[in-house]
Structure 1
């Protein structure tokens, strides 16, 4: 999603902090900068809300700043990652060669699970791997 916001050139509010609010004493440059940030923030929030499924957005509080919205979504998925890690470890430790369509399929499934665990920053000790092979 962040890549799409970048392609659309509306990711300014994600990359930069909110500039000071506009006042009567604000210069034209300061006004233009705030308007650019505000437009980017508004469009980014709308884009995210239209692309996310309702169940995810329903579980995240409403936010007026895109950085806060992204942070809330990330926090929502932190607990999901823990459940996924548990599921993957169980699959890894319980997979047997007899349950697959041959040695190649077994190896590919084990490598796939290991790659997913590595993406989630889970390291498995050599002792665990030797016990999983039994």
Structure 2
């Protein structure tokens, strides 16, 4: 989320999508709606670029970045709680992988 704030793309995370814009909407509402749509689309693209392929393939196609974060958090929790040491790698690597997952989950908020 830090990167999205720096890039000024966190509008879709901070406010909910506004009501449908009509011809009677004022220019401020129209500008806010355009900014929200841009923020939402670019945020989803940015997040998908930063996620590893094995997790990315399990996430559903979601139109809202808030829903995307919820889905990602759920997948990370599931992966973290079902992860077992199988002996194919060292114990150190297993602990590091679990720590990495926990850090990614914590960074989601």
d(CA) in 1 for partners of 2:55, 2:46: 14
Deviations 1:89-117 (A, max 9, x none): xxxxxxxxxxxxxxxxxxxxxxx9xxx6x
Runs of at least 4 residues of structure 1 off by over 4 A? none
Q: CA deviation at 1:80?
A: 2.0
Partner of 1:131: none
What residue in structure 2 maps to residue 57 of structure 1? 56
> C-alpha separation between the residues in 1 aligned to 2:68 and 2:51?
12
| Structure 2: runs of 5 or more not aligned | 86-94, 104-109
Relative contact order, CA 8 A, sep 6+: which one is greater? 2
CA RMSD of aligned residues (A): 2.4
Q: How big is the shift at 1:15? A: 1.0
**Pairwise CA distance, 1:24:** 1.2
Name stretches of at least 5 consecutive residues in structure 1 with no aligned partner.
Answer: 88-111, 121-134
For 2:12, the equivalent position in structure 1 comes to 13
The Cα of 1:23 is off from its aligned counterpart by: 0.9
